Amino acid sequence: MKKKLHKLCFLLCLLLSLHVSAQNTIRGKVTSADDGTAIPGVNVTAKGKNVGTVTDANGEYSISATQGTELIFSFVGMETQTVLVQNQTTINVVMTSSASALGEVVVTALGQTQEKRAIGYSIQAIKADEIKNSGNQNVVGALQGKIAGAVITGSGGAPGSGINIILRGVTSLSGNADNQPLFVIDGIIISNSTSVGNPLPSAGSNSPGAGEQFANTNRAADINPDDIESISILKGPSATALYGLRASNGAIIITTKRGKSGKLNLSVSSSVSADVLGKSPDIQTTFLQGRLGEFIPLGPGRTPYQSFGPVLDPQNTTDKIYDNFRGFYRTGLTNNNNITLTKGGDKGNIYLSLGRSYQAGIVPNTDFGRTSAKVAGLYNITKNFSVSASFNYINSGGKRPPAGDKSIFSALGYWPNTYDVNDYLNPDGTQKNILPGFTDNPRYLVEKSPRIDKVNRYIADVTLNYKITDWLSAKYQLTYDTYHETRSRQVDSTFDVGIQVKGFLVNEFLNYRELNSNLYVTATKDFSDSWSGSLMVGNSLVNSKRPDSYYIRGEGWKTPFTNDLSSYRNQQTRFYSPAHYRIASFFADAKLSYKDILYLNATGRNDIVSTLPQANNSFFYPSFSAGYIFTEHFASNNTLSYGKLRASWAQVGKGTDPYVSGNYFDITDNFPFGNNVPGYFRRSTTADPNLKPERTTSIELGTELRFFKNRFMIDATYFTMDSRDQIVRAPVSNVSGYSFYYTNIGLIRNKGVELLATAKIIQNKDFSWDASINWSKMSGKVIEMPAELKEIAYYDNVVGSLRIREGSKIGDLWGYDYRRAPDGQLIIDANTGFPITSTTLTQYGNALPDWLGGLTNTFNYKGLSLSALLEWRHGGDAIDLGERNALRSGSIKLTERRYERVVFNGVVEQKGTDGTVSYVPNTREVFLDDALYNPSTSTRFNSWSKLNIQDASWVRLRTVSLNYSLPQSLIGKSVFKNGVRFSFTGTNLFLNTPFRGYDPEALSFGSGTNIIGFVGRNNPATKSFMFGVSANF
């Protein structure tokens, strides 16, 4: 592998050293025939050559071309124009509106570029400016609010925190399944995994899993958004079938920037932003620390965490109530710098970029940085043969705040409101903890015990293109993606999570490598004036693994108390699964068109995967799609400019994780004692010897309509997807010799509607107003489950659980309601006077939204541009795991009602001697005190589903972006003549939600998991204010 990497580096150096031939420079300006205004973003390419550029903000361009070259000018919604280069040095082009929108080209599966009108399924494209204007340094976060049919949710506001994306619903029932789409950059399949690792001690933690401990980064965040040219979102199996089983959840196709024709171009950009805490829980400001109305001072044996003391006396200036839910956080700072060099000519092009992003979090002593360097180039060896290559190096990492159980966020809920949480140090530098033995001071915990991680990643490819004849071409691409991550977490014996093991240290070493080989041969043919078509056949080989990944844990801190493993009495090394698998694939893609009116497409792919039993490891799945431009039969009119119908049917498979099928052995602890001699035990899991791949079958219907010379567009899609033969780990009797058994069960049905609409509301010489809206409504339901498996519980907490049963919806949240009489009234306990909590688990909410929407308005006036994205999420419930501690401590506003006598509305159940049941009104008076809210002493209030499962709907102003480009009259022919732009971007500036806690957009279990609907014990989301400047030289 090292030799291959050295050869790749040599090829890149060769590309860098190649002389790019000087050509005649053609300059000009592109304007609109409708109003004479300049058109920025027009693609200008030299026909038959890998040379191209785009017009700038003033509609101007420059490109190197020789005499006899044909220049092609294309732009969405405009007629494509071709101009022959002769002796002229200036070519100005006037473009007219296209009634058929022929000019719009999108990137589809396997990097193919197609006219959008020729595609028989839904596809959505996002351009570079939309990504840049989001202000988000995580490319997945930059898509929020812009994609119909996508549920995109962050895991909080911690620097480098992961972001989860699901397209068209969950298709796998397994709790550890990753339902996120495949990520592809310039044909390179990259990992977007979120590795949770094992940062926990062997004892002393109540955490349900490592996933909640730190907001781990999804690896697509390694990509520098400044390198991105465009993104295509392929949502359904019809769009992704050519990628095979790995794209069963959709695909995100990223196209990066390349070298541009003309003189050497240098672009520099810099931005700085201030990040502040967004929404926070409302606190009670009436009562001081204590219990039952009495003040409890600090002292030996006292733990005054409860704020159920006396009423605050406004005349007493020594007493003060702190809002620690806000005061704990500081203002974070983010800085982002990028520099880009491009150069191109008739013989090739080159692109160089260097970027550095650094974020200091709102939680003290937390940060995340990313440095990326990229080189990409293309060289035309002959007229018909070209070679291109790219190499991208990324270094990232930082300090993460401890989250989940026994973390800074769980401790913050306990902290009494009469003490400032930031007063955390004694004069001698030790922890100033007013709750010793009960919980930690959150500020001291994050200052002394963050997790530190570092990633080195390399993404590279070499591509050969050969035009064999005018109708036959071949392409070969070899891609490589690898990273090495180190993590370290040290917790001393004074912290709550480290007490039982007397302090611990965990060092993790995570590796990932994937090599892809792809060969494509494409034939195109015009059969007649009416019929044309193409056929692509190909082969793909995948070799993926996580070699030499392991953790070393030391426990029992001893002198000399260093951060080295030698300072720990007990040491243990455990290897993670190497997760090694291979896939061999063969595929074909056939296209046929009739007079550019009717488009037919059929694909087929056969995957052979190493993770399934040999009898079932080879499987085939096809797809069929059709597009019909029905307006081609109508006379040209100004009302309906363009109309298209599309339909598709597709099937795609999905395999399972490595080492599921068969028997495997793991190292056992303390064999025979002290870990001195290695011992092994057989795993308690096995699999059906006839285990089959999961299969998803999709039907999609849609239409695209354009009105009033393309001033208004609407795109509507309906889809349904059936996912069968779910691979699930089911519990079995221990008599079998195993505890769990992987088998195929169940059927999930996802269906939904997606709507896209755009409007050019005002278009004139100096001012324009564009609007776009996306809306989607989706639902997933479990249609079938076997009788022997009643339900699958993903996470069960005392305040609520996430589980599925036959007939339930994906994302259902379950809990315990109060018992109720037949007429719906509360049943009151005759002895206590409080409502009786039911012991029957009932479905109460759902973690997934009922519908999603995003509205973008963009206003342009000369060099000034204002864009705002308003986002809706209607429905979708969440359980606040952090609120439980705050209820117990009495620090939030929900607990402010106390020390009064009340009678609960309801009825008392009475049973007659004959067994009949009757109900009489409740009249028993009760006293409200801290026992009502404390889950340690009572479940009367805090176990009620209506309290715990909250509506997490929201409306938010996701982004506001204001940009100003200096006019050419000001910068003239200076060094800045190619443009200078100033920008301001605000994110999450407004949020309206009924949710009581922090911003509910913060998944507790991070990205890449099926455990959704739980928030509150991790870094809350932020709002930010960013100022930036960019210049082109």
Same domain for 175 and 28? no
Which stretches does DSSP call E strand in 785-902? Answer: 791-797, 800-805, 812-815, 827-828, 842-846, 851-861, 864-874, 877-880, 901-902
Sheet holding 182-185, edge to edge: 123-127, 228-234, 251-256, 182-185, 188-190
For residue 349, what are the domain limits?
A: 123-279+330-402+449-811+847-876+952-1032
Q: Is residue 412 part of a domain?
A: no
Contacts of range 584-588, beta carbons closer than 8 Å, 24 or more positions apart: 584/539, 584/540, 584/541, 584/542, 584/608, 585/244, 585/539, 585/540, 585/541, 585/542, 586/537, 586/538, 586/539, 586/540, 587/242, 587/244, 587/537, 587/538, 587/539, 587/540, 588/535, 588/536, 588/537, 588/538
Same domain for 65 and 162? no
Q: What does the pLDDT read at residue 22? A: 42
**Whether pLDDT at 420 is above 60:** yes
Over the stretch 310-332, which tens digit does the pLDDT of each residue have? 999 888 878 889 999 999 999 99
For the segment 890-910, the average pLDDT, to the nearest whole number, is 93
Enter the tokens of residue 1029: 């400047």
Same domain for 89 and 132? no
Over the stretch 781-832, which tens digit does the pLDDT of each residue have? 999 988 778 888 888 888 889 998 999 999 999 999 999 999 999 999 999 8
For the segment 452-470, the average pLDDT, to the nearest whole number, is 95
For the segment 601-606, the average pLDDT, to the nearest whole number, is 95
Same domain for 554 and 667? yes
Q: Is residue 376 part of a domain?
A: yes
Q: Is residue 816 part of a domain?
A: no
Band (pLDDT 50/70/90 cuts) for residue 99 is: very low
**Whether pLDDT at 939 is above 60:** yes
Pairing assessment for the beta strands 182-185 and 251-256 based on DSSP bridges = parallel
Q: Is residue 703 part of a domain?
A: yes
Q: Is residue 973 part of a domain?
A: yes
Q: What does the pLDDT read at residue 76? A: 64
Q: What does the pLDDT read at residue 673? A: 54
Same domain for 217 and 85? no
Over the stretch 263-277, which tens digit does the pLDDT of each residue have? 788 999 999 999 999
- 3-class SS of residue 359: strand
Q: What does the pLDDT read at residue 238? A: 82
Q: Is residue 205 part of a domain?
A: yes
The C-alpha atoms of residue 343 and residue 348 are separated, in whole angstroms, by 9
Same domain for 182 and 91? no
Closest CA to 887 of 952, 797, 799, 800: 799
Same domain for 346 and 246? yes
Domain CATH number, residue 72? 2.60.40.1120
Q: What does the pLDDT read at residue 35? A: 61
Q: What does the pLDDT read at residue 355? A: 96
Same domain for 61 and 177? no
**Whether pLDDT at 952 is above 80:** yes
- 3-class SS of residue 65: strand
The C-alpha atoms of residue 738 and residue 686 are separated, in whole angstroms, by 7
Containing H/E element for 409? helix 408-414
Same domain for 485 and 584? yes
Q: What does the pLDDT read at residue 15? A: 41
- Bridge partners, 852 (sequence order): 776, 873
For the segment 531-549, the average pLDDT, to the nearest whole number, is 94
Answer with the one of 82, 97, 112 that is the final residue of a domain: 97
Answer with the one of 41, 63, 97 that is the final residue of a domain: 97
- The dihedral built from the CA positions of residue 108, 109, 111 and 113, taken in this order, carries a sign that is negative
Model confidence pTM above 0.85: yes
CA 882 to chain centre: 23
Task: Name the residue type at position 180.
Answer: Q
Task: Name the residue type at position 219.
Answer: R
Q: What does the pLDDT read at residue 5? A: 46
Same domain for 866 and 795? yes
Q: What does the pLDDT read at residue 16? A: 40
Q: Is residue 312 part of a domain?
A: no
> Within 10 A of 733 (CB to CB), how many other CB atoms are there?
9
Same domain for 606 and 741? yes
Domain CATH number, residue 625? 2.40.170.20
Same domain for 28 and 168? no
Band (pLDDT 50/70/90 cuts) for residue 437 is: confident
The total domain count for the chain is 2
For the segment 457-464, the average pLDDT, to the nearest whole number, is 97
Q: Is residue 214 part of a domain?
A: yes
Enter the tokens of residue 503: 């302090």
For the segment 421-430, the average pLDDT, to the nearest whole number, is 91
Q: What does the pLDDT read at residue 34? A: 65
Answer with the one of 97, 131, 160 that is the final residue of a domain: 97
What is the overall mean pLDDT for the chain? 88
